[in-house]
Amino acid sequence: MAAKPRQTMQEPPSNEQPVPGTSDLPAAPPTTRTRTSAIDRAVQILDALQDTNRPITAYEIARLVGAPLSTVYSIINDLVEKNLLARTPEGAIWLGSRLYGYGLTYASSLDYLAVAHEEMNRLSTQVGETVQVCGLEEGMMVVLQMAEGPGHFRVTSRVGSRVPLNWTASGRLLVGHLPDAERIAYFERYAKSSPTARAETRPNVLARMAREALDARLSIQIGESDASVACLAAPVLDQAGACVFTISIVMPESKALQSTERFGDELKVVAARIEARLGWRRRTPDAIG
């Protein structure tokens, strides 16, 4: 389940007390200090559990979110009481059963994901490789859905995984529709060096690559984030031309190099068909470009 955007709340301003004998003077301007709200802390705790992908102790959570242990304990207790979090028999903290219901309700409201899921599974069977549906979340590319390929050697990542935009073929497409200045600003803020040190990090170059990939309806990344791993992605655009999500094939680098054109064409056909089924494309699904 995708994490919700973090927000920072502020306490009401507290007025300074007048010094004795100066009550007739104008009041000093109010001072404002920020604090992290309980809701913010709860979201940070949920994010930490999603990122670690395993039950962890309250102490570990406090360290990850940078909050006092007493504060974290208090919030965890409230969330456990409401079944938003749960304690394992060993006392570690994990996601609660109530979140599953919320996730199902949210997913059922997104018709486009149902269509994407069907096309994703069909494409995975057709090409024999892992296929993913990816979206944008707080400057990161997030894996929304995944269908593993049937072969013995396959490349996979768990649903909910988040990686920097500049590491992936999908990440560039997800911001490709933004105005030039916004794309540059996005990459200035979120681009990071990849483990292979091969991912492009220059904002101006990334902004240009993102626009070119969107115009071509295809983005290709080979060995930039992980050695010997390649990803080809196609954008799914709404009626306004914004990239709502992407559909991509993840495979070994050697296979991608041998069949780049074939896989790219198949991706573009599937993306066009998704757009047509959702009413976002006027042309026939077989129209490419």
pLDDT, one tens digit per residue, over 27-80 is 444 444 456 788 999 999 999 998 898 999 999 999 999 999 999 999 999 999
In a domain, 129, yes or no: yes
In a domain, 204, yes or no: yes
Same domain, 184 and 262: yes
From residue 82, how far is each of 89, 140, 227 by CA, in Å? 18, 30, 43
In a domain, 2, yes or no: no
In a domain, 14, yes or no: no
Rounded distance between C-alpha atoms, residue 42 and residue 56, angstroms: 15
Same domain, 265 and 139: yes
Q: How many domains does the chain have?
A: 2
Same domain, 80 and 216: no
Same domain, 116 and 259: yes
Same domain, 62 and 181: no
The reported pTM is 0.62
Rounded distance between C-alpha atoms, residue 26 and residue 22, angstroms: 9
What pLDDT score was predicted for residue 154?
54
Same domain, 83 and 206: no
Question: Lowest-pLDDT range, 108-112, 216-220, 263-267, 272-276?
Answer: 108-112
Alpha helices, DSSP H, located in the chain: 38-52, 58-65, 69-81, 97-109, 111-127, 169-174, 180-190, 203-216, 253-258, 260-277
Same domain, 182 and 55: no
Residue ending a domain, choose from 51, 80, 100? 100
State the residue range of the domain holding 44. Answer: 38-100
pLDDT, one tens digit per residue, over 106-115 is 766 667 888 8
Same domain, 200 and 245: yes
Can you give the CATH number for the domain in which 83 is found? 1.10.10.10
pLDDT, one tens digit per residue, over 170-220 is 999 999 999 999 999 999 999 998 887 888 899 999 999 999 999 999 998
